[in-house]
Amino acid sequence: MPADDIDPWDDPTAKPLIRFDRVTKRFGEFTAINNLSLNIFETEFFALLGPSGCGKTTLMRMLAGFESPTEGHIFLSGQDLAPIPPNKRMVNMMFQSYALFPHLTIYDNIAFGLRRQKTPKAELAERVDEMLNLTRLEKFAHRKPDQISGGQRQRVALARSLAKKPKLLLLDEPLGALDKKLRQETQFELMDIQEKTGTTFVIVTHDQEEAMTVASRVAVMDEGQLVQVSTPDVIYEMPNSVYVADFIGDVNLIEGKAKKVEDGIDLNWAENQPTLHCKTNKSVSNGQICHLAIRPEKITIQSDTPETKNKVQGTILDIAYLGNISTYHVQLSSGHVIKAQTSNTRRIARRSFTWEDTVWLSWTETAGIVLDK
């Protein structure tokens, strides 16, 4: 594979733009960040993802200079950020509230930071025009923030943040104030702007779908530590723990005792239920408690007995119709509930199954993943 095709995080010779080196942050007796090390590379769109209180915002505030590490160091382009005040860092931050000046026009909001650093008039005008064009706000330049929509205000805040050409842009829950449809549209706009500018973006979010959509890599956090850092497809398809599998998307988690077999693992999991088989290279001990994680879309639902090794029978307990998909909650005789999804490919179609129907669920031997932690 040519060197140019290697992602920087897979290249041991690549130098990170941001490096967290054994960083700990304490607030009194509370440890918000615990001995964390992380590399983020130039031009990445990197997502810090986790529930409230996991430490993701504290990481961002330390990058911005609003907090200092209790232990460890943070480097930007190889330079220790500790002695550099926030206003001297090549870092800008876009807040969830956007923090626009209501008395200034859109043009003047974008120009504000450039004027503060005494940018020459011609250069300032050129840069503001460039940002207006990039965010498609040219015709709104002379309006005030209360005269434009929420999505447009979000783009103004983004344009203002990028106007000073920071090496790094921090986005703190930037789309949280938008409705779902606008949020989805804006995600793609953010990706497009990040690609055009080449600026490194670090976004803090608790929205898994948002992180999976926009990010080149995602760091899943819990209690001040990194649980898994990888590309969205790996995070979703190959989670490294029950926590990540459960936090990202929808998943069935079946707990049982593992038994090593030639091509993988058999899982004994419930009385009067068949042994489940998973092809895997994972090393486990016989009798070890493990979880089999299977995404609902990888499970087939049918009325006839399937000719596969992994199959269970149950009764439809509930159905969630979401337009493009339907999710069936199927209760087994053991009391376990397993979710299966089907795509609604026809515009109007009668459901194949309904409440209280007896159905079979089945999946391939490679559909699930065995998790031992």
Whether residue 1 is contained in a domain is answered as no
Picking from 243, 209, 246, the residue whose alpha carbon sits closest to that of residue 226 is 243
* Statement to judge: residues 259 and 346 lie in one domain: yes
| pLDDT for the residue numbered 1 | 34
> What digits encode the pLDDT tens for the residues 76-114?
999 999 999 998 889 988 877 778 899 999 999 999 989
> Do 186 and 299 sit in the same domain of this protein?
no
- For residue 177, what pLDDT band results from cuts at 50, 70 and 90? low
The answer to whether residue 9 is domain-embedded is no
Q: In the chain, what percentage of residues exceed pLDDT 70?
A: 97
Tell me the C-alpha distance between 241 and 372, whole Å: 7
State the pLDDT at residue 323: 83
Comparison of pLDDT for 3 and 148, the residue scoring more: 148
Q: Are residues 235 and 308 in the same domain?
A: no
CATH number of the domain where residue 121 is located: 3.40.50.300
pLDDT digits (tens, 9 = 90+) for 299-351: 999 999 999 999 999 999 999 988 888 999 999 999 999 999 998 877 666 66
User: Looking at residue 350, what is its pLDDT?
Assistant: 65
What is the tens place of the pLDDT at every residue in 194-211? 998 999 999 998 889 889
Task: Work out how many domains the chain is built from and give that number.
Answer: 2
Residue 4 in domain: no
Question: Whole domain around residue 355: which residue ranges?
Answer: 250-371
Task: Kindly state whether residues 207 and 224 are assigned to the same domain.
Answer: yes
| 148 lies in the same domain as 291 | no
The last residue of one of the domains, among 245, 270, 293, is: 245
User: Residue 4: its pLDDT value, please?
Assistant: 56
pLDDT tier at 11 (50, 70, 90 boundaries)? confident
Both 226 and 315 in a single domain?
A: no
Claim to verify: residue 20 and residue 89 sit in the same structural domain: yes
Whether residue 3 is contained in a domain is answered as no
Q: What is the mean pLDDT of residues 157-179?
A: 85
Are 208 and 59 within one domain?
yes
User: What pLDDT is recorded for position 344?
Assistant: 84
Last residue of a domain, one of 245, 274, 295: 245
pLDDT at 346: 74
5 inside domain: no
Q: Is 340 exposed, middle or buried (0-12, 13-18, 19+ CB in 10 A)?
A: buried
Model confidence at 2, in pLDDT bands (50, 70, 90)?
very low
Rounded to whole angstroms, what are the CA distances from 183 to 85, 94, 174, 316? 33, 16, 9, 34
Mean pLDDT of the chain: 91
For residues 209 and 258, membership in a common domain is answered with no
268 and 197 co-located in one domain: no
3-state secondary structure of 134: helix
Q: Which of 245, 268, 301 lies at the terminal end of a domain, its last residue?
A: 245
pTM of this structure: 0.88
Averaged pLDDT, 361-372: 94
Question: Angle, to 10 degrees, between the axis of helix 106-116 and the axis of helix 150-162?
Answer: 20
What is d(CA 157, CA 93) in angstroms, rounded to the nearest whole number? 10
Burial of 303-333, coded b for 16+ CB within 10 Å and e otherwise, reads eeebeeebbbbbebeeeeeeeeebbbbbebe
Question: Going by DSSP bridges, is the β-strand pair 358-363/300-302 parallel, antiparallel, or unpaired?
Answer: antiparallel
Longest dimension (CA), the chain: 78
8 domain residue, yes or no:
no
Note whether 223 and 300 are same-domain residues: no
207 & 260 share domain = no
Mean pLDDT computed over 171-184: 76
Residue 3 pLDDT class (50, 70, 90 cuts): very low
CA–CA separation, 303 and 326 (whole Å): 16
Mean pLDDT of 265-294: 92
DSSP letter for each residue of 268-303: E-STTSPPEEEE------TT-EEEEEE-GGG-EEES
Provide the pLDDT for residue 182. 74
Q: What is the pLDDT of residue 348?
A: 62
pLDDT at 217: 96
Report the CATH number at residue 332: 2.40.50.100
Exposure string over 224-254, b if 16+ CB within 10 A, otherwise e: bebbbbbbbeebbeebbbbbbbebbeebbeb
